[in-house]
Amino acid sequence: VRQASLFWLSPGGDAPPRRSDLIPGDAGVLYADVHQGLLERGYMLAPSAYEVGFLSTAHRSEHIEGFVAALDEVLTALEVKS
């Protein structure tokens, strides 16, 4: 889910949840695995699956591209399908 400079990771191909009560119960477990995998690759996200991420003008294209590549590696390793 993306709105301006805010983003939130939401697995699956369904419509992204717009309220916390619509977040699947197992989302926190998957998020913990993604969070750890990204930490191992040098990227820090908020520690909770219920928090959003922020982009800023300090992030350059290479930072975003690196993050996307690392996220792809982690999701592939976890066998998460979109």
CATH number at residue 50: 3.90.1150.10
Alpha-carbon distance of 7 to 53, in angstroms, equals: 5
Print pLDDT tens along the chain (82 aa).
Answer: 666 788 888 777 678 888 878 888 888 889 999 999 999 999 999 998 888 888 888 889 999 999 999 999 999 999 876 5
**Domain interval for residue 67:** 2-77
pTM of the model: 0.81
Q: Please name the residue ranges forming H helices in the chain.
A: 27-40, 61-77
Token pair recorded at residue 15: 């419509």
pLDDT of 22: 82
How many domains does the chain divide into?
1
pLDDT of 82: 58
Residue 82 domain flag:
no
C-alpha of 8 from chain center = 6
Contacts of 31 (CB under 8 A, 6+ apart): 9, 48, 49
